[in-house]
Amino acid sequence: MADEDDVMMKKIAQELRKPVPVSTSFDARVMRAVRELPRHARRRLWSRLNAPRTITVQPLGWGLLAASVALFALLGAMHASADINRVAKASANFFPKTKATTPDQRVQFVLVAPDAKKVSVVGDFNGWDAQHIEYQAQHRGGGVWSVTAQVPVGHHRYSFVVDDSLWVADPTAPRVVDNDFGVANSTMVVQEQK
């Protein structure tokens, strides 16, 4: 009985081992179905970044790229120091080479504003920033506000800002009309102390 069972099992196994005839388009259909399965975007990007690639190195192309990167860095550095260079070059024409760049000068700004709660100085020397800490005037009593601050040598436009809202030209300095923004400014020329 057992022998008959063994023979039967072998016959079944033989039948199962026979290759099944498959249509020639089966592979293509399977692959298409796999590709259509949703995949996580980050995983896809990670796979792309991780996938090994063959890179062809062309000396001319990579040389140009390296030169461009260097030029880019140089232009950035030149721009950052353009104004400094201009001042330095101008100074070099007028002063001996041993002389350092002209230092900022201390300038006192005074405004009489008895009703003010806050007075600050704005101008092209502080980016017209009314909150600039170094240009906040102190109340000295009797309605007199003043601040002494560093200002670069040269021609400047400036104004007082009272209570963060009212722009007031310096009554003691030359005024310059402002047809664009409607509020007159003051001007001053800061000269190097000798």
Partner 1 sequence: MSVVARALVALMLAAPAAVAQDARLVARLDKPTLDAVTAIVDSARAAKLPTAPLVDRALEGSAKGSDGRKIISAVKQLSVRMGSARRALGATATADEIKAAAGALDAGISANDLARLRAASGKRPVTTPLDVLTDLVGRAVPVDAATNVVVQLAKSGVKDPEFALFQRNVRADIDRGADPTVAATTRARGLVQRAGTGTKPSK
* Binding residues vs partner 1 (CB under 8 A): 55, 58, 61-62, 64-65, 68-69, 71-72, 75-76, 78-79, 83, 86, 90, 122, 124, 127-130, 154-155, 157, 167, 172, 174-185, 187-189, 191
| Closer residue to partner 1, CB minimum distance, 29 or 81 | 81
- Please measure the distance between the N-terminal and C-terminal CA atoms of the chain and give it in whole angstroms: 126
- Of 12 and 67, nearer to partner 1 (C-beta) is 67
Q: Which of 46/62 has CB closer to partner 1?
A: 62
Smallest gap from residue 32 Cβ to partner 1 (A): 30
**Among 153, 151, 148, residue whose Cα is nearest residue 192:** 153
Helix boundaries (H) for the chain: 2-17, 26-35, 41-50, 59-80, 82-94
Rounded to the nearest 5 degrees, what angle is found at the Cα of 139, between the Cα atoms of 134 and 144? 115
CB 24 to partner 1: min, Å:
38
Of 3 and 180, nearer to partner 1 (C-beta) is 180
In this structure, what DSSP letter does residue 95 have? S
Helix axes 82-94, 59-80, angle to 10 degrees: 60
Helix %, strand %, coil % of the chain (to 5): 40, 25, 40
